[in-house]
Amino acid sequence: MRDLSALPDLNLALVQTALAWHDRASNLAQFDSLLEDARGADLIVLPEMFTTGFSMESAELAEPEQGPTSVWMLRKAAQLGAVVTGSVIIQAADGSYRNRLLWATPEGELRHYDKRHLFRMVGEHHHYAAGAQRAVFELKGWRVRPLICYDLRFPVWSRDSENTDLLLYTANWPGSRRQHWNRLLPARAIENLCYVAAVNRVGTDGKGFAYTGDSQALDFQGEALICACDADGVFKVRLSAAELAAYRSRFPAYLDADPFELG
What is residue 164's predicted lDDT score, i.e. its pLDDT? Answer: 95
Q: CA-CA distance, 80 to 13, in Å (whole number)?
A: 12
**Mean pLDDT for the chain?**
96
Among candidate residues 63, 124, 149, 194, the one labeled active-site is 149
**pTM of structure:** 0.97
- Return the CATH number at 191: 3.60.110.10
- CB 205, CB 197: distance < 8 Å: no
124 falls within a domain: yes
Domain assignment of residue 2, yes or no: no
pLDDT category, 246, cuts 50, 70, 90?
very high
Q: What is the mean pLDDT of residues 242-252?
A: 95
Specify the number of domains making up the chain: 1
Domain of 27, in residue numbers: 10-254
Tens of pLDDT along 184-202?
999 999 999 999 999 999 9
Does position 179 have pLDDT exceeding 70, yes or no? yes
Query: Is 23 within the bounds of a domain?
Result: yes
Q: Is the pLDDT of residue 161 over 90?
A: no
48 is catalytic: yes
* Catalytic residue flag (residue 115): yes
Q: Is 236 among the catalytic positions?
A: no
Indicate whether 263 pLDDT > 80: no
Residue 2's pLDDT is: 75
Residue 99 domain flag: yes
- Asked if residue 30 belongs to a domain, the reply is yes
pLDDT for residue 144: 98
Q: Does residue 151 lie within any of the structural domains?
A: yes
115-151: pLDDT as tens digits: 999 999 999 999 999 999 999 999 999 999 999 999 9
Q: What percent of the chain has pLDDT over 90?
A: 93
Express each pLDDT in 22-50 by its tens digit: 999 999 999 999 999 999 999 999 999 99
Look at residue 66 and tell me if it is in a domain: yes
Residue of 48, 63, 76, 194 with catalytic role = 48
pLDDT of residue 1: 67
Point out the catalytic residue in the list 76, 115, 124, 194: 115
In a domain, 89, yes or no: yes
Contact indicator for 215, 14 with CB cutoff of 8 Å: yes
